[in-house]
A and B are shown apart, each in its own frame.
Chain A
Amino acid sequence: MKPIQTQACCPEASAAPAQTETMMKYVLAGIPLLAAWWLVYSNLEAFSGWFAYDLLKLSHESHFGGAVAFFVYDTPKVLLLLTLVVFGVGLIRSFFTPDRTRKLLAGRRESAGNVLAALLGIVTPFCTCSAVPLFIGFVTAGVPLGVTFSFLISAPMVNEIAVVLLYGLFGWRVAAIYLGTGLLIAMLAGWVIGKFRLEHHLEDWVLEIKAGENAYTEANMTPPQRIRYGLDAVRDIVGRVWLYVVLGIAVGAAIHGYVPEGFMASIMGREAWWAIPVSVLIGIPMYSNAAGIIPIVHALLEKGAALGTVLAFMMSVIALSLPEAVILRKVLKPTLIAVFFGVVGFGIILVGYIFNLVI
């Protein structure tokens, strides 16, 4: 990180000493906070056991005791992880405005462009309601159509909330699989869409917009501003998501001993080959963010549904949705929307099968 921004963009150049002072305050407050975080995090398991079995005097063998210990351990664990990761990602995002991403991607060749776009989808701050204006901004600036789609697929699907929740609840393997395949789908689906050469299936008025007219660039942020950006992200995201996390873990804990093991196995198990396309079809009209779908994912996996099937369901809920199709209809002609849903849906189904075969 550069120590001090030297751009003479604003009359705040004289405020540099004050800036260093704020930065010092953040660092001084940050170190004990991080230490406390680590202390709490590393003692959670011991605490949850003590809480359930010593304080509440529940039996080690009882379903209820196990459920309480699980809940008391997992809830703070996932929330702590989420807070730290959202803050970290917030810091990184303060370096990647959509405008900078657009410049990085403009005029990029396909393939390399698809890879870069999918990766940038993770770190570029992006609100789903901006999807259409962003789409226009990218296409009119000369970002190839397929590369734009790689970005649009990766941005909602591969996000830090999904990865942290999967890591906290199901371990690093599931999280890594999700991250890897999500990126792969975004890259390949975008590449395939690019190969179809469907540029003429954009609505005509989109192509008439001149790129970069009145284009506005944000001034570079100062280091304390970046930290504040990260803190705002924590307040915004964790504030919105914590309820789903608690609910998800409670569902997992509640059904732990009470719904028969393997209840879902016959319907969504590995042997039911038709389960994957059906899950994806059911997932498309549903719309939820990564956090909202986690309680369902948790319940399904717990009861014997196959990992590939569940991940395919989760991806189709997050990445494809009917409301999104309605919004995109303003800029895309129906053929292009159909291709978009078809290619992404097909990719998700493929990933589901590969996982059920491999794992």
Chain B
Amino acid sequence: MLIKVLGPGCRKCLETEKLVQEAVRESGCEATVEHVRDIAQIAQHGVFTTPAVVVDGEVKSVGRVPSKADIKKWLGK
């Protein structure tokens, strides 16, 4: 599973990345977490408010810090 956190590196983006890391660790999923900072790549996902979370190519949330419970739901746990 590939999870991408999209965001240029602001406070909320870093918070989101941290939550995703924690959720992955706690649920014991096999998942790679990647933080995409490049604006062009972010735009390629059709996302225009950050932070956004993309799980296996599917955009799960945009423009907010998701809750850990939400993230775990996306992980299928």
- A interface with B by C-beta (< 8 Å): 97-99, 102, 125-130, 132-134, 136-138, 140, 205-206, 209, 212-216, 218, 327, 330-331
Contacts and interface: CB of A to CB of B under 8 A. Distances in A.
A129 B50 contact: yes
17 contacts: A98-B48, A99-B49, A99-B62, A129-B9, A133-B42, A134-B49, A136-B43, A138-B48, A206-B43, A212-B46, A213-B46, A214-B47, A216-B46, A216-B47, A327-B8, A330-B39, A331-B39
B59 to A, nearest CB: 4
A171 B69 CA distance: 44
Interface of B: 7-10, 12-13, 39-40, 42-50, 52, 59, 61-63
Nearest to A134: B48
A212 B44 CA distance: 10
B10 A209 contact: no
A176 to B, nearest CB: 30
Given A98-B63, A125-B63, A331-B39, A130 B49 contact: yes
The 3 closest A-B pairs by CB, nearest first: A137-B48, A129-B10, A214-B46
The A contact surface, by secondary structure, is helix
Contacts of A99: 49, 62
A132 B49 contact: no
Contacts of B45: 214
Contacts of B50: 127, 129-130, 133
B46 A132 contact: no
Contacts of A98: 48-49, 63
A133 B48 contact: yes
